[in-house]
Amino acid sequence: MSETEIEELINRLESFPKPDDRAQCQRLWEAARSFAPLQLVIPRIASDLHIFEVLVKSKEPISTAELVARTNADEHLLGRILRYLAAQFLITSPSPRLWTSSPLTSFLANPAYAAGLRFGTVCVLPSEATLPALLSNNSYKDTSSLDTTAFQLGHDTQDSMFEWLSRHPDERNDFQQWMAESHKRQQSAFGGVDLSELLRGSSSPEAPVFVDVGGGNGQSCAEFLDMYPNFAGRLINQDLQAKIIGIQSKGIVHQDHDFFTEQPVKGAKIYHFRKILHNWSTDECVELLSRTREAMGRESRIVIDDIAIEESNLDWHLSYVDLTMGILFGTRERTLFEFKYIFERAGLALGRVVKYGKGFGEHIMVLS
């Protein structure tokens, strides 16, 4: 190492925050709390004790003693939990040993958020904890290329997360409740992106117009019908039989279909995939899109509604979702460049791309 390089290294080391640089150290200390697992664990305990519900319903501050009486928890333990919640701004302490709700408390009192806390502590935290060992033992290969997921390692199972949930009904119900609540906060693409040009041309009442592939309970079909009530043709919601059994929706046909098999609806105007591709590997995405491409007519288009990560203006939430998909499913969120690679392999051309929503990375991608 040359003398110049040594001097440069010393200068860089001297620029690091010093212990006596209190303001900088305080900022680093505050940032460190983002890494604390207790931020999920303690709210889960408070939720189990119904503390958030009690505080939201009360018009006056409630004492520690009263909360002890309502929860049957140890007074010292409950006091420690309440202090932590107040320090995280999840509740408020207007004076010592008195507690009331904060702007965040009402969210945490929502049963769907309680379900999310339970799912997070039971399913996500144990999976996250195994990620360092999983990557180290596999020479730091990408999670999408591994045979085992962090979820499987953390739960000592060979089942995928969805297979595991099918055998654990309480956790499955929590997951479904949390996902349903999350979807409520997402803007419908049909309100932010005009797809009317894809509906042009003659169509009979019996002709397929909109096919939602892997559409669950038919929410996207219902949103499409609300946005375009005067179109002529059929709306078809496709998913596995277990997901659509018993569902009836006015103006919507529910059809049992596995999207890795031949697409039975030929020549529809729009084949719609909402938040589907991020659940599957690149090869699986190519396969399922190829099955749909084979059913397309001259005027058919595939509309992908999915998260696309931007490579600038980086967002913490999207980065977190991306890594969580890898931890739980061994899959990933993708950039537009990575999506384009999949589309080309499936024999499809990417045309119109529109970003919509409020910062959640949602994009509409139209394929021909």
State how far the Cα of 129 lies from the Cα of 327, in Å rounded to an integer.
10
Q: How far is CA 296 from CA 216, 242, 269, 301, 332, in A?
A: 22, 26, 8, 7, 27
Cβ atoms 196, 171 nearer than 8 A: no
Residue 336 to residue 309: CA distance in whole angstroms:
7
Question: What single-letter DSSP state applies at residue 160?
Answer: -
Catalytic residue among 257, 278, 317, 363: 278
What is the C-alpha separation between 336 and 353, in angstroms, rounded?
A: 9
- Collapse the DSSP code of 48 into the 3-class scheme (helix H, G, I; strand E, B; otherwise coil) and give the result: helix
Give the span between the Cα atoms of 325 and 328, in whole angstroms.
5
Q: Which two tokens stand for residue 359?
A: 């910062």
Tokens 């890594």 belong to residue: 323
Write down the residue that tokens 């505050």 correspond to.
30
CA 31, CA 331: separation in Å to the nearest integer?
28
Residue closest to 330 by CA, chosen among 287, 283, 279: 279
Catalytic residue list contains 278? yes
Question: What are the residues whose beta carbons fall under 8 Å from the beta carbon of 237, sequence distance 6 or more?
Answer: 212, 215, 216, 217, 218, 220, 221, 244, 249, 252, 253, 254, 255
**Which token pair is 184?**
């409520």
Answer for the pair 206, 182: CB distance below 8 angstroms, yes or no.
no
Active site residues: 278
